[in-house]
Every structure is written in C-alpha cells, then in structure tokens.
Amino acid sequence: MPSITVVICSFNIPRELPRTLYSLTPPYQIDLDKSGYEILIIDNGSAQLPNLESLTSSGIPIRVISYPEPSVSPVSALNFAVAQTNTEYICIFIDGARLASPRLIATGLEALMIESRTVVGCRGRYLGPKFQMQAVKEGYTRDVEDANLHRIDWKNNGNVLFEISVRDESAGESLLDTPSESNALFISKVLWDEIGGYDEAFSAPGGGYANLELWSRITTTLNVRTILLIGETTFHQLHGGVATNATGQDVQEAMHDEYRVITGKSYTRPIIKPYYYGNLYEKLISEAAEVTKPLRAYWERDEALRKLSRYENGSNLFLIRLLLDRIKKFFEREK
C-alpha cells in the first residue's frame, strides 16, 4: 500500500474528535493496510490537547502536534502540519468533527493509483434531518445527535450513517453535480507542493472559503485527473463550527467578501469533468431521485446500475463514468 497521512485540524472538539479518529482506524475502516498509514492531528490552540488513550489499540500511529501560532483560521496550521509529514500521499480534514464512511481511506487510495497526477475528493454530508444551520433552528442539538448515533450502533456498521444524514450544501443537488469542496482531500505531496497548499490570506474564523478556493484551484489550474468517490463521504457532527454551523447571513457574506478580496472575483463552483470511483449505494440513488425523478425510473429498470449498489472491491472507474453518462442522456430524452 502506498504511504498516506490523514492530516486533521482540531480546535476544542473533545466530544467529536474521538469519534472522528475511531472512524479513521480499524476495525471501522475496512480493507485498510496498516503499513504506511498514519494520522496526524494539528491542534490549533485548543484549551486542552486531545486525549488519545481510547485509540491505542487500533495499531495506527497517531501523532498530535500543537501549532505554535494558533489562529481562528486553520489554514496556516494545516500547511504547517503537511510540512511535518513524510508519506507519499496526504488526506486533508480541514474540520476534525467529520466522521468517515467505512471504506473512505482504502477507496481513496485505490483512486489515487489510477493515474500519477490525480486528486481525489468526496461529497460531504450533515448528521441530522436537514442542513445543520436549519436543523439547529428547529431544535437539533448535540444531545439529539448523540442519541441518534447511539441508537444506530454506527461503530459496528458505518453505512447506517447515511440513514441519519443529508447531503450538505457543498455537495450539490444530485450525484451529477460537481461539489464546491471536499472535506477529505486526497492528493500527493508532489502535487500539494506544486499548488502551494492553502492560501494563508484566508484569515476568517474557520477558514472562510479557503477549502472551496483550494478545491477550485487544484481541479481547474493543475493538470490533474479529478476523481470523486461516489459512495464514500464524511459526516459532519454538530459542534458550532463557524463556517458550517453559522446561522447568521452576515457571517456567510463576510466569508464571501473575503474570498472576493483575495481572489478578485465572486465565488462560483468549479467547472470540471470528474471521473467517479467507488460504490454506488442505493441510498444515494434514492436521494438523487428526489431531485431528478427520471433517475428513479432508470434505476428501477437498469440491472447493471442496480448491481453497483452491492459492494465489490475495486469497482470500475470507467464503468461508473459510462453509466452516469447514460443517465445524463436519459435525462435529455425525458425532457
């Protein structure tokens, strides 16, 4: 297995971080070769450093380092952390409060091996019944989230997290939309150095639009193959993060204003033609059908597509791309 470090930024998330780390280690992470795999936590000024005692049995090296110049923005801390890694590849978690789906790491690594200049991302999801900003207004709390997680026994079957979560705003309305960011970004150290990492001009709390800008810059300015993991994701836990759980319109506008000042333009989703890799779970197809109902009819009558909802190691990248192209053509015929 090629070597990879998962780099996680942490700031005052003692409730959420242990779950995130559990979701990134065996036995929860399946098909994961422990050799060459490590986790690096960069703490960005927490009141207390993370306690890792409960994870010592995983067999995965987990390091914690304190960023010497903590800031309300995580971008400088993450650039600093990546410079401390010695592996060939990295996977960036700008938000340490995100649970991983059960085959995120193995599938991400498989996708990275397809071509030498490849960047791999995935769509994000919120735990809860709605976008978290709206869910919080309607009574969704950490206690409710804790009860939901306990009820479904997610540690023994992580795929049930799809049942208590929804796509986040960055994911787009369907499987065919390009996400505006990836909260688990797989990339080689060579390409990371080539792009220059995060733009440290983003100083807003939570990083503002820094993650969106990085994803756009990587996928549109580098000569890379962009691959989206069609059935793997990260699930955002409720923790009061500025960028994700901010309820005030003024906060969002301030972040967009910062983006315009730094880049000289308003933010728009990157226009790219990604390839898809992984497992096409029926839950995801069902969600897409709510937005684009013709997809449900296509799903019900197309046995080849339906088979992709069953797990098969190393699902064929080009087969999935072909099937999605067929879906697009189906949409065009149904209009």
Take residue 108 and report the two structure tokens written for it. 């991400």
Domain with 325, as residue range(s), is 279-334
Same domain, 85 and 103: yes
Same domain, 207 and 225: yes
Are residues 210 and 261 in contact, defined by beta-carbon separation less than 8 angstroms? no
Same domain, 180 and 305: no
Q: What is the mean pLDDT of the chain?
A: 85
Same domain, 47 and 79: yes
Query: Which one, of 135, 222, 219, 233, lies nearest residue 175 by Cα?
Result: 233
Task: Establish whether the linkage from the previous residue to 27 is cis, with ω within 30° of 0.
Answer: yes
Domain boundary pick from 255, 275, 295: 275
pLDDT in tens, 17-60: 999 999 999 999 999 988 999 999 999 999 988 877 766 667 89
Q: How many domains does the chain have?
A: 2
Same domain, 175 and 62: yes
Whole-number Å distance between alpha carbons of 95 and 6: 12
- pTM of the full structure: 0.86
Whole-number Å distance between alpha carbons of 88 and 189: 6
pLDDT along the chain (335 residues), means of 10: 92 95 95 93 92 74 95 97 97 97 95 93 95 92 96 93 92 80 97 97 96 96 91 92 58 92 95 83 60 49 46 43 57 56
Same domain, 212 and 322: no
Same domain, 216 and 166: yes
Same domain, 199 and 293: no
Domain boundary pick from 225, 248, 275: 275
Q: Give the C-alpha distances (Å, rounded to integers) separating 83 from 63, 123, 127.
A: 14, 26, 32
